[in-house]
Structure 1
Amino acid sequence: MQKNDPKIINAWCMYDWANSVHALVIVSSIFPVYFSAAALNASGGTGLIDFFGLSIKSTVLFSYTVSASFLLTALLIPICTAIADFTGYKKRFMKFFCYLGSVSCMLLFFFTKDTLNFSVLIFALSLIGWSGSIVFYDSYLPEIATEENYDRVSAKGFSMGYFGSVLLLVFNLSMVLFPSFYGITDKGMPARISFFTVGVWWILFAQIPFKYLPSANKGKAQVENWIFSGFKELVKVYGQLREQPYLAKFLLAFFVYTMGLRTVMYVATIFGSNELKLPSQSLIITVLLIQLVGIAGSYLFSWLSSKIGNIYALMIGVAIWIGICAGAYYTTTAGQFYIVACAVGMVMGGIQSLSRATYSKLIPENTIDTASFFSFYDVTEKIAIVLGTFIYGTVEQITGSMRNSILALLLIFIIGLILLSRIPSQKVYRFGLQTKAN
């Protein structure tokens, strides 16, 4: 396939537009607020809910659900990507996970305090569908663009995702704030409709990349035992990965700082709701601010990487995260929370976009096993989310305070910064180090 084709690149970016509404509406804004309210009602005001016979704090259940979802995804994805690379069915797998996630979002329309346990499982499936489709989506980047354009194309995808998700959130937010305008009298109905619209939006706009992205990225001789052949493909890619020292070092650093970054994404709204007691409208508007600032942040870090190299730009981003955690620990008012949220928006998308581009640069040139290579990236990210959310929930469970969990995240970012500093950046490569620039 011809690289740097504007039509293909725009179609690829549209999947960010399609799926990012899940990250915004389901993960970061309306769903966590609705979940907290439904769990409080189901618990009779105690905050402890009966989850299939297990009495557990609602905020801890939320963290553990995220952990379990991404653990299952981490187990499934390497097998799926290896099979996809061997058979050439990358797009089929991407469609499967896309439809799993979007339909799960639609089913959350039936989320009430009486269906809480069922809805938690559906929420978990939506996470599996979303994260599963992303690895196949990301793996197209080295196929559609040349290396010098990775940063720009990756940033464009993230910025389109931010912009598209903001549009849907504004509509959903209007229902939440002004339900009478839509003739809605049920207090919980606006949120439930929002969940349904996420699924519809996701499916509809995903048809654009599904139409233009290639159906088969490689495809080898067909065999009956796909799973066995998939495992062989995975072992081969793992051997190639071990031969790339800077790729392995980057994955380790990425693993650590992603533990903190993605955990913040999943628990920030819960922190504002339960620790700061902010009203739901304030929390949703805060998330909206994060998205708007994130559009600029994605392009800012792309520009920064062009000036100082990807690794140095990532180190700056992680250093800012350390400051964010320190600020969040001392946050007590809504105004302070808004300031921290804007800082989060500035670095959230920028670091994610730059991490994806950096990994694309570090994989072997002209590789055709892109899905399998990105499965290691995705599994690293998912296990990081599992451990990060588990650590966050466990620290809160033991100490009874989310603020102590924030201190744990601060320590994680410090370790991530140290690990990044061990990787030579682009400036070093120019002075004779014989390896690829990152």
Structure 2
Amino acid sequence: MATESAEVVINDRKEIFGWAMYDWANSAFSTTIGTVFLGPYVAGLARSAAEVAGTETVSFLGIPVAPDSFLPYCISFSVGLQVLFLPILGAIADYSNLRKTMMRLFATIGAIATILMFLVAGDLWWLGGVLFIVANLAFGAAIVFYNAYLPDIASEDERDRVSSYGWAMGYLGGGILLALNLAFFIFSEDLGVPTALAVRINLASAGIWWFGFAFLTWSRLRTGRAARTLPAGENYATIGFKQLRKTLSEVKSFPETLKFLLAYFLY
């Protein structure tokens, strides 16, 4: 069986580029889906469904919901799931060599859920919310493993630069796709494409972009090694929530940071 070299290679330009390309890939979800297209589109479908039913609300799992509130509720629910699961995933990232495997798994789940948003039309307004919950949870999960890679690929004196490089690639990649999608949306009728179909194509394009460019990441990132050894008597769940509790106790010393985190969760 082939094994990785005992020599740990860091500051490798090709690997750092592959790592940064994941930010380029997944930022399409943040810009095209989260920022611009999904919210207004799903709200519009839900309003139409409410008008057909002669009501001011739509029903999701038997719960009446205002059309404009449906997706924000889904966002809050997905963030709540992240609070439950990400500490465990953070422990897996720190105490195992599964970073690449788990990052690839969640990125694939998120990208596929995003591509399936093409199916959101007519009475399937609720599907947009369900797929967003899945995609957003997977998005956050993959980011945990992405961030855990930074100490593996960059020396301490290079981490700020490499981290900034990743952020820049994310803004660039997400911005380029958003610009293309906005242009397509604006000129869709001139191209003979109905507006609703143009939105659905744009939604799916974010998943295709995410999935496609992530292959550059998988081809260049090493598997990596466990950063730490799991303490005796601990498992990923217990150690993950202990770390979360420690972090929350420390963040009390930074009230403005705590306010930001609470606002992010409630939004």
Short-chain TM bin: 0.7 to 0.9
- Give the aligned residue type for 2:223: S
1:349 maps to none
Whole-angstrom CA distance in 2 between matches of 1:212 and 1:255: 36
2:35 maps to 28
Percent identity, please.
29
The partner residue of 2:19 within 6, 12, 16 is 12
Equivalences for residues 90-169 of structure 1 within 5 A: 90-169=99-178
Whole-angstrom CA distance in 2 between matches of 1:126 and 1:31: 12
Tell me: CA distance 1:150–1:27, structure 2 relative to 1, closer, same or farther (3 Å).
same
Are positions 1:256 and 2:265 aligned together? Answer: no
- Give the aligned residue type for 1:37: G
Equivalences for residues 408-419 of structure 1 within 5 A: none
1:216 to partner: Cα distance = 3.2
1:47 to partner: Cα distance = 5.2
Contact 1:86–1:233 under 8 Å retained in 2 = no
Equivalences for residues 115-264 of structure 1 within 5 A: 115-184=124-193, 186-218=194-226, 229-231=235-237, 233-234=239-240, 237=243, 248=251, 253-260=256-263
SS class of match (1:43): helix
1:39 to partner: Cα distance = 1.9
1:128 to partner: Cα distance = 0.7
**1:98-126 CA distance string (max 9 Å, x none):** 11110011111011131112321111111
Tell me: CA distance 1:251–1:198, structure 2 relative to 1, closer, same or farther (3 Å).
farther
Contact 1:83–1:229 under 8 Å retained in 2 = no
Tell me: CA distance 1:67–1:236, structure 2 relative to 1, closer, same or farther (3 Å).
closer
- Give the aligned residue type for 2:33: I
Tell me: CA distance 1:105–1:251, structure 2 relative to 1, closer, same or farther (3 Å).
farther
Are positions 1:66 and 2:75 aligned together? Answer: yes
Tell me: CA distance 1:77–1:157, structure 2 relative to 1, closer, same or farther (3 Å).
same
1:208 to partner: Cα distance = 1.5
Unaligned runs of 5+ in 1: 261-384, 390-438
Whole-angstrom CA distance in 2 between matches of 1:251 and 1:10: 34
**1:120-160 CA distance string (max 9 Å, x none):** 11111111111111111111122222333333322221121
SS class of match (2:223): coil
- Give the aligned residue type for 1:73: Q
Contact 1:89–1:219 under 8 Å retained in 2 = no
TM-score normalized by structure 2? 0.84
TM-score normalized by structure 1? 0.53
1:38 maps to 45
Contact 1:107–1:196 under 8 Å retained in 2 = yes
Contact 1:52–1:117 under 8 Å retained in 2 = no
Whole-angstrom CA distance in 2 between matches of 1:150 and 1:47: 52
Contact 1:5–1:144 under 8 Å retained in 2 = yes
SS class of match (1:131): helix
1:254 to partner: Cα distance = 3.2
Equivalences for residues 314-329 of structure 1 within 5 A: none
**1:39-64 CA distance string (max 9 Å, x none):** 22122186522222222212322222
Contact 1:48–1:58 under 8 Å retained in 2 = yes
Are positions 1:2 and 2:5 aligned together? Answer: no
- Give the aligned residue type for 1:18: A
- Give the aligned residue type for 1:28: T
Whole-angstrom CA distance in 1 between matches of 2:113 and 2:254: 31
Whole-angstrom CA distance in 2 between matches of 1:118 and 1:236: 35
Whole-angstrom CA distance in 2 between matches of 1:27 and 1:70: 13
Are positions 1:86 and 2:89 aligned together? Answer: no
Unaligned runs of 5+ in 2: 1-7
1:84 to partner: Cα distance = 4.1
- Count of aligned pairs between the two proteins: 256
Contact 1:69–1:124 under 8 Å retained in 2 = yes
1:237 to partner: Cα distance = 4.9
SS class of match (2:195): coil
